C-alpha cells in the first residue's frame, strides 16, 4: 500500500500500562484493579490539561468488549466513574475509544473490535459508508506500538490485521507480557 492511500499509521510511543494507571488514577485500590487488566480503554483527548474525555459511545464499546470477551481478557476503563466524560460527535466519522492491549491478548481483542464495528455500523445498513477512526496501542514488555486507523469501516479488520503482523518485528527483543 503506498503512503498516499495509507489509512493506518504505525509508530512507537512512550505510553505504557503503568504510565496510564499513574496518570489517570490517584487511588491505590483503583490502581491495583487496573494493574490486573490486560486491556484498558483510555482517554483519547485531554482538553485544558485538566479534563479527560472519551469519544461518544465509549460505554457501549466497553460493554460490548466486556460481554463478548473470554474470561482471560480483563478489560476496564482507565478512569474512575466520577471522572468519566464523553465528548459529543460533531462529524460523520465514528471515533472508537483508544485501547491499550498487552501483546498476548491482541488475537482476542482485534476480532472483538472488528465484530463491534460490523454489528454496530455495517450489519444494520450495508449500503451506508461509515468512516472509522480508531487507535490501538500494543505493549510488549518495554515497547508500545500505536496503530491509528482512519478509513472505511468495511476495511478495518483486513488493514489492521495486515499492519499488526509487524508488531513482533517492531518489538523484537522485548519479552512478552
Q: Check whether 24 has a pLDDT greater than 60.
A: yes
Which strand ranges, in their side-by-side order, compose the sheet holding 51-55?
Answer: 45-47, 51-55, 86-87
Number of folded domains that form the chain: 1
In a domain, 176, yes or no: no
Give the Cα separation of 24 and 100 in Å (integer).
Answer: 14
Q: 49 is in which domain, residue-wise? A: 3-169
- Residue 96's pLDDT is 93
- Residue 101's pLDDT is 95
Q: Is 87 exposed, middle or buried (0-12, 13-18, 19+ CB in 10 A)?
A: middle
In a domain, 27, yes or no: yes
- Residue 48's pLDDT is 43
The predicted-structure confidence for 64-111, as pLDDT tens digits, reads as follows 999 999 999 999 999 988 888 888 877 788 899 999 999 989 889 999
In a domain, 174, yes or no: no
- Residue 1's pLDDT is 40
Reading the block at residue 137, the C-alpha cell is 496501542
In a domain, 155, yes or no: yes
- Residue 4's pLDDT is 43
Q: What is the mean pLDDT of residues 148-175?
A: 77
Amino acid at each position: 500500500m503506498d503512503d498516499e492511500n495509507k489509512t493506518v499509521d504505525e509508530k512507537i510511543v512512550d505510553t505504557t500500562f503503568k504510565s496510564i494507571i499513574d496518570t489517570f488514577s490517584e487511588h491505590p485500590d483503583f490502581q491495583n484493579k487496573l494493574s490486573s487488566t490486560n486491556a484498558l480503554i483510555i482517554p483519547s483527548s485531554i482538553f485544558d490539561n485538566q479534563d479527560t474525555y472519551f469519544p461518544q459511545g465509549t460505554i457501549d464499546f466497553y460493554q460490548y468488549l466486556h460481554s463478548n470477551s473470554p474470561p482471560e481478557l480483563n478489560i476496564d476503563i482507565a478512569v474512575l466513574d466520577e471522572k468519566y466524560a464523553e465528548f459529543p460527535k460533531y462529524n460523520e466519522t465514528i471515533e472508537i475509544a483508544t485501547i491499550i492491549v498487552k501483546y498476548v491478548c491482541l488475537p482476542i481483542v482485534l476480532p472483538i473490535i472488528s465484530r463491534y464495528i460490523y454489528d454496530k455500523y455495517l450489519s444494520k445498513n450495508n449500503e451506508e459508508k461509515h468512516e472509522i477512526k480508531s487507535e490501538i496501542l500494543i505493549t510488549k514488555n518495554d515497547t508500545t506500538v500505536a496503530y491509528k486507523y482512519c478509513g472505511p469501516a468495511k476495511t478495518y479488520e483486513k488493514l489492521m490485521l495486515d499492519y499488526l503482523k509487524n508488531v513482533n518485528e517492531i518489538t523484537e527483543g522485548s519479552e512478552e507480557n
